[in-house]
Structure 1
């Protein structure tokens, strides 16, 4: 299955086991180039949940040893083709995308090791992995919202966030 999606579009596709391989390839590269700056790298988002339909974009969370390394990480990630988009919706979580606007393939969320943002992104992923009924509910919601917000990625994300908050995240 093709990896990547136009940055404004929303399309939910069936789970693809190759997503794990795409993550592992990128994780290896990121670990090599970030080296001592990086404490941990995790596969997050829907592509990290077996069986979960998702946008065909790999989400990766990177925990820096200390957030003071952010500027250095920005420079390193830029050399790999990542574009820094600033602080994300969650305080202390910094957002990067890889690929041209027509075919964004990876989203990277950089935060500090042990921060609230780091814990929350992992807790939500683990919640979906451990709660199949909630994961199915979330999958149905995402598919419905993808139809409603097919050309509005921001609207899709905002609508999805309501459900995520209702689950305590």
Structure 2
């Protein structure tokens, strides 16, 4: 297993998101209601895996299948289906020192709503963001490349922040 890399915040990340957002809009823009930069790379100053996480919220559940097929046609994206059965259709792409994870979902998708709550909370609560950064760095060291361990280790923190942000 390869090591899980958590790196210092890179001020280039918002620009990388903007570039990916433009590409997505060119392809499926007429199906998209909104596109969000989510995940740790969307929080200024936060340590993160160098992956640009993007939620593309489609205007209707009725266009999800068509949008998925269009994105699948891009040679540089790998399709992973809906791995958690939460209506988040997942694609990944690598670009040298960073990568992209694109999620397509219908409106009011519960996973997307929680991600936005989490992101927005960390953007406005620097102590919680610092705690999350420390947790991620510790988990990356302890995981020894085990992604399930790393992800599971963040679950309780994520759930706590979403609960707080939902009040």
Q: TM-score scaled by structure 1?
A: 0.86
- Tell me the equivalent position of 1:92: 87
Does residue 1:117 correspond to 2:111, yes or no? yes
The offset of 1:73, in angstroms, is: 1.6
- Stretch moving more, 48-57 or 147-156: 147-156
| Alignment gaps of 5+ in structure 1 | 1-5
Q: Equivalences for 1:128-147 in 2 at 5 Å?
A: 128-147=122-141
Partner Cα distance (2:104, 2:159) in 1: 21
What are the Cα deviations for residues 111-137 of structure 1, in whole angstroms up to 9, with x where unaligned? 112232222111111011011110000
Structure 1 segments, 4+ long, off by >4 Å, are none
Aligned partners of 1:40 and 1:113 also within 8 Å: no
- Tell me the equivalent position of 2:157: 163
The offset of 1:95, in angstroms, is: 1.7
Partner Cα distance (1:133, 1:117) in 2: 24
Aligned residues: 162
Q: Equivalences for 1:73-84 in 2 at 5 Å?
A: 73-80=67-74, 81-84=76-79
SS of 2:7's equivalent in the other structure is coil
Aligned partners of 1:57 and 1:105 also within 8 Å: yes
Does residue 1:44 correspond to 2:67, yes or no? no
Partner Cα distance (2:36, 2:67) in 1: 16
Partner Cα distance (1:83, 1:148) in 2: 28
Alpha-carbon distance change, 77 to 150 in structure 1, aligned in 2, over 3 angstroms? farther
Aligned partners of 1:23 and 1:58 also within 8 Å: yes
- Tell me the equivalent position of 1:3: none
Aligned partners of 2:50 and 2:97 also within 8 Å: no
What are the Cα deviations for residues 75-107 of structure 1, in whole angstroms up to 9, with x where unaligned? 22123322221224362222211139x977111
| Alignment gaps of 5+ in structure 2 | none
Q: TM-score scaled by structure 2?
A: 0.87
